[in-house]
Amino acid sequence: MNKSELVEVAAKEAGITKAAADKALSAIIGAVVKTVTKGESVTLVGFGTFKSAKRAARTGKNPKTGATLKIPATTVPKFTAGTAFKASVAAKKSAAPKKK
């Protein structure tokens, strides 16, 4: 599902226009990005938590040449799924028919 499909579903479920749903979704995404950029976390109970995490410097390997290279330390966004979200996905997977 991409953003336009999500906007369409949100508009239908909330009974609002697609333009209003798009504006609301963009505002929410913007707020999450701005908050995580500041180093704070955003927790949506039952859904999950968005936060920033520090990644240490490390040595990598160029897959084409095999040469080693230094990868600098950086800060990356991280999402941790909430308990209800995990349970919902796990229940859906276990209900799926098994291939023979």
pLDDT in tens, 23-53: 999 999 999 999 999 999 999 999 999 999 9
pTM (two decimals): 0.78
Confirm whether 96 is domain-assigned: no
Work out how many domains the chain is built from and give that number. Answer: 2
76 Cβ contact partners less than 8 Å away, ≥ 6 residues apart: 52, 53, 55
87 located within any domain: yes
Which domain range does residue 71 map to?
A: 41-91
For residue 49, the domain's CATH number is 4.10.520.10
| Residue 55 lies inside a defined structural domain of this protein | yes
- The answer to whether residue 17 scores a pLDDT higher than 70 is yes
Q: Are residues 29 and 49 in the same domain?
A: no
- Position 98 in a domain: no
Residues 29 and 50 in one domain: no
